[in-house]
């Protein structure tokens, strides 16, 4: 066998992976993200020419860079024949074989489930299967979710998903590698798994699709599905039409007066610094979506689609990194940006600055017991902004539940008084408290791990 290699290009902020497979001379790219400069740089370092770009499916969680990459490199663009798209491609279907080079061959396998026309690609090295690019089909310890095309299709697609996973397992040897696109934090995954790599043999023992009978698998899969980001509604249409090259040129700079005007207009002015930096001091009316967490997922989910977004960062690099992440989900050109720090953003006017009170679950327990410490206020409302599945598993007794993505439209549903806000680790609670603070509410950000709540003496209950 030749030395066919598969390089992984991770996009951890979205929980996805793209792949570049090569034999030292030519390469095929599978499911590339929008920012194809990473792929081009990798191909350049390896000294290989990209001749094929393959999509496992029309993606719902990001804007694909496949069409732009194929145009730029002259590569053949492999897209399911049954998908109706608005661009030229090489239509492929179950049973097709694509000779990439003398050593490399792709075999197309129909694996419906995540979508109706989903494909997987078996990679052969001189006729021997070395692995399979599974997209949103067979993932590490799970499968892709089946409800993204509408709840009315979820049951049927779950049945297809089960059959597709079984088909791949029957087709390939235990040692074949599994290379999924989703499953590393992506909301396209039915559940999450921590495995860094896997094989068909491992999946036979670890994956519910290969352990459970159809009815049990469908029931478990549908029961585990929770909400997914609202921006997904725009991704499928964008990918069906085909996206052009990404534009990552610098964003227009905003001075303090412009920032004040945008905040006064109710626009989304986003602070990219860490939540601890935000709590210490920030520009009044701004929102905390730290770049050290899944910024693009939550911001893209919560901000009204098409609303002007302004980015505030410590440095030009921080803003550029955020711009790249947002472009991956179709937010191509933020309205404005500013760098430096809160003093510059406020134009030296300290009256335009605010801070955020923070606490731990131990502080919450003490405040609930009537002995608040560190000058913390009383607890009028405890708001849990975790997702519904997290809430149903267990939650703090007496808490009010509003999932973070629902909060912008449900601010009026938060009971009156001082609101203590928590999530699972502190990131989502920072976004929620900043949103409530912008709305004029008195808030406390519980910046703590929810796993510590019970140990702090807080009563935990399960169910709705």
pLDDT, tens only, 275-295: 999 999 999 999 999 999 999
Cβ-contact 329, 356 below 8 angstroms: no
Neighbours of 64 (CB within 10 A): 25
Enter the tokens of residue 439.
């709305």
Q: What pLDDT, on a 0 to 100 scale, did the predictor assign at position 309?
A: 98
Q: Is the pLDDT of residue 1 over 60?
A: no
Q: What pLDDT, on a 0 to 100 scale, did the predictor assign at position 167?
A: 97
DSSP state of 72: H
Q: What pLDDT, on a 0 to 100 scale, did the predictor assign at position 120?
A: 98
Q: What digits encode the pLDDT tens for the residues 209-259?
A: 999 999 999 999 999 888 999 999 999 999 999 999 999 999 999 999 999
Q: Is 213 helix (H, G, I), strand (E, B) or coil?
A: coil
| Angle, in degrees to the nearest 10, between helices 37-46 and 66-73 | 40
Q: What pLDDT, on a 0 to 100 scale, did the predictor assign at position 224?
A: 86
pTM score, whole prediction: 0.93
Q: Which of 109, 199, 176, 181 is nearest to 143 (CA)?
A: 181
Residue 195 CA to residue 254 CA, distance in Å, equals 43
Q: What pLDDT, on a 0 to 100 scale, did the predictor assign at position 194?
A: 61
How many residues does the structure list for the chain? 464
Q: What digits encode the pLDDT tens for the residues 18-64?
A: 999 999 999 999 999 999 999 999 999 999 999 999 999 999 999 99
Percent above pLDDT 70 for the chain? 98
Residue 77 CA to residue 68 CA, distance in Å, equals 10
Buried b (16+ CB within 10 A) or exposed e, 11-27: bebbbbbbbbbbbeebb
Q: Is the pLDDT of residue 188 over 70?
A: no
Q: What pLDDT, on a 0 to 100 scale, did the predictor assign at position 45?
A: 98
Q: What pLDDT, on a 0 to 100 scale, did the predictor assign at position 287?
A: 98
Q: What pLDDT, on a 0 to 100 scale, did the predictor assign at position 2?
A: 61
Q: Comparing 150-159, 183-192, 375-384, 439-448, which segment has the lowest mean pLDDT?
A: 183-192
Domains and CATH numbers, the chain: 5-241 (3.60.15.10), 256-354 (3.40.250.10), 357-461 (3.40.250.10)
Q: What pLDDT, on a 0 to 100 scale, did the predictor assign at position 300?
A: 96
Top pLDDT among 185 and 461 is at 461
């Amino acid at each position: 066998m030749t030395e066919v290699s598969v390089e992984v290009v991770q996009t951890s902020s979205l929980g996805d992976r793209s792949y570049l497979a090569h034999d030292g001379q030519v390469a095929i790219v599978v499911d590339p993200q929008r920012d194809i400069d990473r792929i081009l740089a990798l191909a350049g370092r390896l000294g290989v020419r990209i001749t094929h770009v393959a999509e496992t499916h029309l993606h719902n969680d990001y804007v694909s860079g496949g069409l732009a990459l194929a145009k730029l490199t002259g590569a053949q663009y492999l897209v399911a024949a049954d998908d109706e798209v608005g661009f030229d491609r090489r239509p492929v279907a179950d049973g097709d074989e694509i000779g990439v080079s003398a050593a490399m061959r792709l075999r197309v396998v129909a694996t419906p489930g995540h979508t109706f026309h989903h494909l997987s690609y078996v990679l052969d090295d001189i006729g021997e299967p070395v692995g399979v690019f599974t997209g949103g089909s067979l993932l590490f310890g799970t499968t892709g979710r089946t409800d993204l095309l509408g709840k009315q299709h979820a049951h049927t697609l779950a049945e297809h998903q089960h059959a597709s996973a079984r088909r791949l397992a029957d087709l390939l040897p235990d040692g074949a590698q599994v290379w999924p696109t989703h499953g590393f934090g992506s909301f396209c995954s039915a559940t999450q798994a921590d495995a860094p790599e896997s094989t068909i043999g491992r999946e036979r023992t670890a994956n519910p699709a290969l352990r459970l009978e159809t009815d049990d698998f469908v029931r478990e899969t549908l029961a585990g599905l929770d909400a997914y980001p609202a921006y997904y509604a725009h991704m499928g249409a964008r990918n069906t039409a085909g996206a052009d090259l990404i534009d990552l040129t610098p964003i227009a700079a905003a001075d303090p007066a412009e920032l004040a005007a945008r905040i006064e207009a109710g626009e989304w002015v986003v602070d990219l610094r860490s939540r601890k930096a935000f709590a210490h001091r920030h520009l009044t009316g701004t929102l905390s979506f730290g770049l050290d967490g899944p910024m693009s997922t939550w911001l893209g989910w919560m901000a009204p689609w098409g609303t002007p977004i302004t980015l505030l960062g410590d440095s030009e690099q921080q803003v550029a990194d955020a711009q790249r992440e947002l472009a991956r989900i179709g937010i191509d050109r933020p309205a404005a940006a500013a760098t430096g720090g809160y003093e510059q953003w406020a134009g030296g006017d300290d009256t335009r600055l605010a801070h955020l009170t923070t606490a731990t679950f131990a502080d919450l327990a003490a405040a609930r017991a009537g002995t608040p410490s560190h000058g913390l206020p009383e607890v009028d409302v405890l708001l849990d902004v975790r997702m519904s599945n997290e809430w149903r598993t267990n939650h703090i007794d007496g808490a009010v539940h509003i999932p973070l993505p629902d909060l912008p439209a449900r601010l009026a549903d938060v009971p009156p008084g001082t609101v203590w806000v928590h999530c699972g680790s502190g990131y989502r609670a920072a976004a929620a408290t900043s949103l409530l603070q912008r709305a004029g509410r008195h808030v406390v950000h519980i910046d703590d791990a929810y796993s510590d709540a019970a140990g702090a003496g807080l009563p935990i209950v399960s169910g709705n």
